[in-house]
Amino acid sequence: MGLLQLKNITKSFGAIHALQGVDLEISLGEAVGLMGDNGAGKSTLMKIIAGNYPPTSGSIEIEGRKVEFAQPIDARETGIEIVYQDLALCDNLTAAANVFLGRERRKKIGPFSMLDYPSMYQKAGELFAELKSETRPRDLVRQMSGGQRQAVAIARTRLSDPKLVLMDEPTAAISVRQVKEVLALIHRLKETGHAVILVSHRMPDVFEVCDRVAVLRRGIKVADKHIKETSPEEVTGLIIGAIEAA
């Protein structure tokens, strides 16, 4: 059974129809690549799944239950974690502080509850090690490279054990070596039974890690195929409209 089911999702901003009747389904252990040109509706779809705003019409179901998200935190509570394109990090805080932002670990000393630094540093260190990132928990995010910042944003999604991880262009601004690491992480997420939606402009990345690719064009899903049944050429054709639908 599908983990996430989007049915007939429509989103209008005034006269602009960003999404028109999009269906999408994803199961645990599956990675779906979401592709499309700028303005095709990828970000809008992601933001609806992430709870940034509700769809104009259509329904979202998680494990067969209909859900409505009023804000991103609601989506998180149902097991959806997002890596935003701008990463949504606080530059003035440490890597560990960002990983635990809003979910700080505390310990009790008498009547006082205080931040548990050792525990958070240790856990953050473990998460970075898992990601094979050289990020250090105590470093300020302001001083980090693009890849390290990416690692912080991804490590944050690993804090809880999410069912679905949305990644918005995670490989757009990082080094070649770190692209490999991010892709390896997506593989690891799949192996451990998570679902991943990857929004990316990079065709090789999508073809390397995804099981399926869905193509949006002008707010309409024009293709949803298994990777093995399609090719980068066909997907490119679908994105730019040279191929009407497949």
Partner 1 sequence: MNSTLEKQKDHAAIDESIILRQEVSGFAAIIRTQPFWVFLALVALAIVMTFVSDAFMTERNIFNITRNMAFFGIMALGMSAVICTAGIDLSVGSLVGLSGIATGLIMRAGYGIEVGFLGCMLVAAAVGLVNGALVAYLKMPPFVVTLGMLSIVVSLARVVSNNQMIWNFGPDQDLYEWIGGGSILSIPNVVWILVILTAIFWWVWRYSTWGRWVIAIGGNAQAAKLAGIPVEGMLVSVYVVCSLCAGLSAFLFVGYTGSVTNAMGFAWELTVIAATVIGGSNLMGGIVYALGAPIGAALIELIRNSLILAGIPALWQQFFVGLFLILAVLLEQVRSRKGG
Tell me which residues touch partner 1 (CB under 8 A).
72-73, 76, 82, 84, 88-93, 97, 101-104, 106, 113-115, 125-126, 128-129, 132-134, 136, 138-139, 143, 145, 148, 177
For residue 153, the minimal CB distance to partner 1 (Å) is: 10
Between 16 and 114, name the residue whose CB sits nearer to partner 1: 114
For residue 92, the minimal CB distance to partner 1 (Å) is: 4
For residue 192, the minimal CB distance to partner 1 (Å) is: 18
Q: Which residues contact 177 (CB under 8 A, 6 or more apart)?
A: 147
For residue 177, the minimal CB distance to partner 1 (Å) is: 8
For residue 173, the minimal CB distance to partner 1 (Å) is: 16
Between 66 and 132, name the residue whose CB sits nearer to partner 1: 132
Between 30 and 169, name the residue whose CB sits nearer to partner 1: 169
- What is the C-alpha separation between 109 and 197, in angstroms, rounded? 42
For 226-235, the CB contacts below 8 A with 24+ separation are 227/33, 232/203, 232/204, 232/207, 235/35, 235/203, 235/206
Element (H, E) at 226: strand 220-226
DSSP secondary structure letter of residue 134? -
Between 14 and 112, name the residue whose CB sits nearer to partner 1: 112
214 token code pair: 């869905």
Type of residue numbered 6:
L
Cross-sheet strand order for the sheet of 65-67:
16-26, 4-13, 57-62, 65-67
For residue 188, the minimal CB distance to partner 1 (Å) is: 15
Between 105 and 218, name the residue whose CB sits nearer to partner 1: 105
Between 108 and 228, name the residue whose CB sits nearer to partner 1: 108
CA distances from 26 to 30, 33, 39, 141, 200 (A): 7, 11, 23, 33, 17
- What is the C-alpha separation between 73 and 79, in angstroms, rounded? 10
